[in-house]
Amino acid sequence: MTDAAELRERTRSLLAAHPPAGTDRLDFLRARFDAGLAWVHYPEGLGGLGASRSLQPVVDAELQAAGAPDNDPRRNGIGLGMAAPTILRYGTEEQQRRYLRPLWTGEEVWCQLFSEPGAGSDLAALGTRAVRGESGDWIVNGQKVWTSGAHLARWAILIARTDPDLPKHQGITYFICDMTDPGVEVRPLRQITGEAEFNEVFLTDVRIPDDRRLGEIGDGWRVAQTTLMNERVSIGGMRIPREGGMINPVVRTWRERPELRTPDLHQRLLTLWVEAEVVRLTGERLRQQLAAGQPGPEGSGMKLAFARLNQEISGLEVELRGEEGLFYDDWTLRRPELVDFTGRDAGYRYLRAKGNSIEGGTSEVLLNIVAERVLGLPAEPRTDKDVAWKDLSR
């Protein structure tokens, strides 16, 4: 089993063979992947060495100290946090070798075609159809919505209904969709912030070869659960330093602007600071649990806490700053590559945090998951569970 000392030696060998100062950024990232130092817990040949996930910080620290470039993980969060673990678990060897390397290096950005305007929070009620053609390819028609980064993406993870005669959680199949194919149309959705980081995507007679199917036909719901559990961990369980994240600009303003302080705001800030630290430490504990296996429903609890805390902190910041807290000086229709909470105005943070309780699973859905799968409470009645999808009222 690979240990920390061996990883340090491998990392130093990589740096010696490819000095960051004199090596093209993309060439360095490719070499790092090929050396097994991208995801050390992935198998050999797929960016890893079969080591413990907990040893990844050993590699990252050595590379950071040497000034090595990273793969700009925020730009391809859906690919790294959701598509990659799903491809690793359900993809064929050919799929793993084709997609994982350019995904990790950032050469190919990914998006997620799950949510639909007609299904709301009930993802299993999706209506996008995939019909098998005579050639064996799948012909896909439908509409997806709230698709982050679709305007930047080369590939998408997609679920579509392949058998409407089965209940809604069955008859779904999981595909990889080429966003450059004919029939894929991406339209911007303007948000309350004025930006358009989200999109709606229309699929019209999009042809997907069967070798871009992940998992078995009709098993898409089970495959999608791997994606969703990883999504909630990647959103709610991000590694941040102490006093990092959304609490940072509020605390900084408090220290630098004593004239804004009041006893009430002081008490609220202390409470939120403690809660932010609890959430941060809980995230560290969750990542330690992940080192031993697949993510579970605990990630839903983390994402739930993350959304609530961000909204409360951003609201406090607006109150603390008073009139100036409402300022938001770049209210324009932009198509951003990254969502940057801390590098923007307080008004932007307040508005953008409203989406935290919707994206990555609504807070209402996550409350059900925590109640049933973490606390063991009785499940809510589901009268449509055994009804064929085609017979459901819509």
Q: Indicate which residues carry an active-site annotation.
A: 231
Q: Are 355 and 307 in contact (CB under 8 A)?
A: no
Taking alpha carbons only, the member of 225, 228, 207, 201 closest to residue 215 is 225
Residues 6 or more apart in contact with residue 271 via CB below 8 angstroms: none
Residue ranges of E strands in the chain = 110-113, 129-132, 138-144, 155-161, 172-178, 184-189, 198-208, 213-214
Residues 6 or more apart in contact with residue 353 via CB below 8 angstroms: 246, 307, 310, 311, 313, 314, 341
How many other CB atoms sit within 10 Å of the CB of residue 342?
A: 12
Parallel, antiparallel, or unpaired: how do β-strands 110-113 and 155-161 relate? parallel
What is the residue whose two structure tokens read 């042809």? Answer: 207
Q: Are 157 and 83 in contact (CB under 8 A)?
A: yes
Query: Containing H/E element for 212?
Result: none
Would you state the torsion angle of the CA atoms of residues 186, 143, 128, 107, taken in this order, to the nearest 10 degrees? 20
CA distance 1 to 286: 23
Taking alpha carbons only, the member of 334, 369, 370 closest to residue 352 is 334
Q: Are 345 and 328 in contact (CB under 8 A)?
A: yes
CA distance 175 to 210: 8
